[in-house]
Each structure stands twice: as C-alpha cells, then as structure tokens.
Structure 1
Amino acid sequence: MGENAVEDAVTTCVPGTRDTDVAVKPPTVDIVIPVLNEERALPGCVETLHAFLRDTFPLTWRITIADNGSTDATWDIARDLAARLPDVHATRIEVRGRGAALRHAWSHSPAEIVAYMDVDLSTHLDALLPMVAPLVSGHSEIGIGSRLARSSRVRRTARRELISRCYNLALRLSFGTGFRDAQCGFKAVRADVVRPLLQRVQDDAWFFDTELLLLAEHNGLRVHETPVDWFEDVDSRVNVVGTAWQDIRGMVRVARRMSAGQGRVDLPPRRELAPVHPDAVVAPATNPLLAKLVSFALIGVVSTIAHTSLYAALRTVWSPEWANLAALAVTAAANTEANRRWTFGRRGGARTRVHSRAGLLFVVNYLFTTTVVVTAVHALPGHGRALEVAVLLLAYVAMTIVRFAVLDRWVFRDRPAALTG
C-alpha cells in the first residue's frame, strides 16, 4: 500500500503524561507496539513492558502504541494507557497492516533509535538491551532478534518451525543474506537510517520486515542479530501459510526491483568505528539470485513440458535413446538461448562460447537421463510407457537444478577483466 496511503489516512495521536519532557529531551529508544483488535492483550503487554523499562533499562525510552484500524476497544485502551502511564504514547491510523503502523510511528518518532515488538511479548525482554546496544555504539545500523541463532531458546510447533526455516533458507540462497531470521517480531533501527529506507519499502503488511532488511543489506548497512528466548503465542491469529505465500511474492518483487537498479537508497554517512585504509577493498552489494531463479524456473517449466511431450510423441516410433536425444537436442538449444537472453542478460557476443559450453552440459544431461530410463526403468519387470515417461521427467527435473548452477557459475560467467601492470 505504501507511504502515501498511510499519510492520507486519518491519524490521531495521544501524547503520554510526560510528553512535554519528551519534547525537551527526546528519548533514545522508542519502542512501538503495533496492534489490531488487541483489547485483551494490550493492557498486560504495555504494563509489563513499562515496568521492565522503568526498573531495568538504562537508556531513555518511550513506548508507542500504534493502532492500525482496530474496531474493538483497543484504541480506547491505548488512550487510557497513554494518559495513565508516564512515557507512553498512542497513535492511530485508519490503514491496516503491521508495516503501515510501523511506517507511520517510526516516521514521526523523535527518538534516535526506533524499535518494535509484538503485543504478545513472545520474545523475552532481556534481549532488548543487547539488541539496541550496537546501534547506540555505532557498530550497526539495524538490530534484530533471531530465533534461529545457536544460543536461542525457542518453543513453537513443528509446522511453524519448518515454514520459518524454509523461508529464511530461501532468503539466504536467493539474496545471499547475512541475517538468519527475517520475521521475528523484535527489531530496532537507527531513525536516521530507516526513514530513507521507508521511502523504498512498498509492503505494508507482514513482508515489511523482510523488505526492509533486504534493502538495508543491499545498501551495505550492518545488521546485528541477537539470540532470543521465544515462545509461540498459541492464540496468534497469523495465517502462517497465507503469510508465507505473500512473502514469496514479495521476494520476487524485491528481486526484480534490485535487478533493475531500483534498490539503491541515499543514506546518511556511516559512523565508522575506525578509519578505512585507502587501499582497502569494499565488497559490492550481493547481486540477488532470485530474479535469475524466477526467470530460469519459468523457462525450465516450458522446457520440461516441451521435452516430455516431444519424447512421448517420438517414443511411439523411435527407441528411448533416439527419442530422448532428439527431444533433448531441441529443448536444450532453445533453453540455452532463452536463458542467455532473459535470465543472464547476454544479448551481445560470446554466443559460440556459450553454446559450446552448453553443448558439453547437454551431453552430460543426455547420458544421465538415458541411463536412468534405459538402465534403471527397463530393468524393472513389467514396466510400462507411463512409468518410463514419469521417471524421465523426474530425471530431467533433477538435471535442471544442476543445469542452473552450471549455467550460472560456468557457462554464463563473465570473463575476468585483463590485468594491467
């Protein structure tokens, strides 16, 4: 939905009872709690957090309750808490989505560091100071809680654990991310850094966290991970599967924008811990692989369907070896050319070198698939044509995965520039 929709929404702010002090001396940390219809959980959450900060937190702080379109008594409770507890602030927007609430609250916060945590307090509060401290010292620009760190203690269902690990693995493989847990509801960001990033973040829902982190790393910012103790809220209303699907769509969108050069952000100067040596080499931002994977997968689906269909047609008149050879020859040539143009962006020369290398890959592909079909399937007693085609399809899919790695690392790899003396 984006920033414009949030700014166009009706917004209401209720300052805390000590808001005049905040105006004189802004807090170091503003902890935002995004809420939507949380009338039952909100009072206990804010009172617990308030007591923890008052008694143990060494930095100046403020709590901001960010209501985004609640229809129950959440907003009334938020206003009461802001009026009753010192250093509690309440704000409301008429746009739903956790990202929308954080975008609005972080954009208007007077604090040096803006943070957020979920209203269920699933993450133990002892991790708050270790997460914020590197931002205060200047070591990092973003701090996140990680449930996947080795020393974290986590209790959640196997289904949610599997989805979380697969999602974060997909991020690491496709974007080369350095962080391990993108979706833990426990994060902090330097305010001067997050505001330029918010102008590029498009998602206003659950993918907001991931998009922010991907853009941050893409622009060379440092993300510090803090191990956390995390216990799943059994009353959570998050649709894990639906959210995961929206996240995958968000990954594709971000990868395309980055590949088009639209992920760069003008950021304030970094606070370096030590001078940078003039001869030091700074690694460029990681080029995301997801855009390549999406293009390669679409071409691969078409090639697989074409190969299987052509093999099935030729198999009625030819032996498995010759049918597979003809089907592979046609589809491999078309596949290589399509990937050369669209996946790896090679529209100029070097076509001979590319197709000769791809030809070697074609030979390996043919030998593997033919061996599987002829040797393995034909050794089975009473095998049928349907089993033969099915096994060939599986073998072709397996070789397609290998094919992407070889194309990316060898066939379409850029030649190193000539060394100059």
Structure 2
Amino acid sequence: MENIGAFLGFWERGAQKRSNFEETASRSVKRWASTTVFLSFFIILFIGSFLYWVNVSVFPGSLLREEIFASKSSEESLGECPEYFRWIHKDLEPWKHTGISREMLERAKAHAQFRLVIINGDAYVEKYKNAYQTRDVFTVWGILQLLRLYPGKVPDLELMFSCGDRPVVKKRDYEGANSTSPPPVFHYCGDQESLDIVFPDWSFWGWAETNIRPWNSILEDIKEGNKRTKWINRAPYAYWKGNPYVSIAREDLMKCNVTDKYQWKTRLYVQDWHKEKKQGFKKSKLADQCTHRYKIYVEGQAWSARAIGRAGSRYMQEKLKMKYVYDYMFHLLIEYAKLLKFEPRIPNEGKKVCAQKLASSQNGLGKRFMVESMVNSSSETLPCTMPPPFEPLSLKAFFENNEMIKRQVEMWEKDSWESLKFG
C-alpha cells in the first residue's frame, strides 16, 4: 500500500479543520503544492445566460491581451475546493511580491529534467536530462489530459520541472538581506525546509514499471478489495510492504518488524520490484493487500481505529478523486501564470506534444495506462472554487500543533524502548 501513502501524502498536506483521519494524515505530509501566476487573472463573468472566462495578461511594454472563452450555460462548479487547495497560496509566497522574471526561471533550469511551455492551449517540451523510468513522460501526459479536460482555459505559461525524489530548492540558500529570489521549480515533493512548487506525481496516470494502474482504476480496485474481508475478520496487525532502502525513515521502520525477542504487532515486508516484475506482478496488487486491520504509510502513520479507517476510505473516495487532482493542477497553473513578468515563448529545442502521438510512442503497460487514463471529452462542470489563503494565526497554530504531536510521538518512542530495556 506504499503507493496509496504517496497519493495521500500529496493531498493530505494542507487540511486544517478536518476529521481525526484527515488531521492524522496531514501531520505526515511535507510541504506540497504551489501555484505561480502570470500577471494575469481569471474573472468569471455572468452575462445573461452565458458564462465567460476572461484571461487578461499584462506584459512589459504595456501589451494587453484578452482571451475570452465561452462556456455552456449549463456548466456548474463542484463548489468550493477541498481545504488542501489553500496550500497553493502558501507555496507561492516566495514570489508574491516580486513576481517571476525570466532570469529566475532560467536559474531553475539547473534543477530541471524538462521545460514545459503552454501557448494557446498547446504544449511544448524541451528536455534537458533523463528522468528515472518514465516519470517525465507520464507527468507530461497528465498535463495534456488537463488541457483536454479544460480546453482553452489553461493560460499561457512557461515552467521548469524536476522529476527527482527529493526537494532541490533549499530555503536556507535564499534567506538574509542580500539573498536573491529563489528559482521556481515544479516538483513532486517538498518540505518545510524547501521552496519547490509541488505538483501531483506521475503515478496518478499509472506507473508502468511497477504495474500500478491509473488512480481512477486503483480507487475502484481498492473499493472492491475492501469488500472481500470485513475489518473485524482481518489480521490484527499493522502492515507495510515496499522498498525500505530509499529513505532513513523506511529503514527505521523495518527495525519494528516482529522478531523472536520483540512482538511489535507489525507485519513488514520488503518489496523486490525486479523479482516481482519477472513474476508478472502477481503479489503486488494493491487491491489484494486489504487483509490487515491497519496500514502503515511511507511517513510512518498508521490507522489506529476502525472508525478512522472508514473515514479514510470515504475521504479518499470523495476528496481525492481524479476531478480534484485536475482541479488542483488547474488552479496551481492559473496562480503560477499570474506571477510571470515575461511573455512565455517556445524554446528553440522545444517540441510540440499531443496526447495521441505520445500514447502511440509507448508500448506495453505504458501505452495501456495512457489509453486507460485518457480524457476523452471536456468537462461538463467548471473547476471547483479556490478557497482563500490560510489566516496567519491559524497557520501558525497548525505548525505548532504538528511539532507538539511530533514531540509526543518521540516521547512515546523513547519510553517504549526504555521499558523494553529495563522491563
């Protein structure tokens, strides 16, 4: 279930007033999500029975452009976006007063696997470095699906994207009176010590190398898997399966496995992806892993009660559905585009990409997952409405509460080891 943990990690980061499950999950989340904006703004005008999208972009030289996209009068919004969308405002704070210049963007190139440019609804990619497996390909694929879902509504923009495992823009390097503004780098991850602009990771559209299907399909698989065994009839242990060699936290977690001396009520398993691939991924299906009462996630969080498990399942089905993934991307890119102080342009080595050609260039599971996750028609509903930024005092209380919980857990850990040592 480690991949579900990664999914929840992204979306759980920002909730402030939620159920016990939501608060528990958000504690484990690092700094996720950001949106840089284009010196442009989107205004929704209701004129008669028609709804118009107005994008007014202001560039140096007093160049003013207006793009008006008419939408069907029958379109309706999903209402206000989930609470975690508030982190978009927080993550873009480093550029709130300065905006983003081309010089800042070009400094981000050193960290990027590729540059993405969107102009008039078309996407162009300039590749710099190879990404691990097909992360970059499926990230671009996800953005192409967004353009198909909301055609003509994503503003012109230009960004740099890093496909690595760890944040690359360290906050400490841009502090102090003589410091420069940080380079804007889109990434899959972040934390309180970094300034990366976090974006949904590639696996929402499938992870071919590990046979992880697109998120919409996974949600249905897990729903069916949960029905096979009632919670009360599942093994009364905390379960985790994955690769423990990619982080210190995971290596520490493996120390809590059952031994002849200690019974931690855990069942922890190492996932050998090379062996699993040779065997046809028969033992790594997420829907087949709903056999234990508790699940331990990547950051070390575990279900602690039956009610929390139910709340978590509902939250995943309702607040993490793919429509919200796309809406998060949409608002992130809208806000990012507003900050740009230059006019996006197609780079010399940039290549236009489209969904059909990208899918046809793939083979095996890669092609299958792209076909499975393809957006076949534009949305009949408008994106959800962005919530306002966090109030400073409430955000301060949020982080203080996180630190208090962290210290409490560390105290429990220390007491537990002491009791084993002298008990």
Find the structure with the greater CA-based Rg: 1
Greater helix percent: which structure? 1
Q: Does the TM-score normalized on the shorter chain lie above 0.5?
A: no
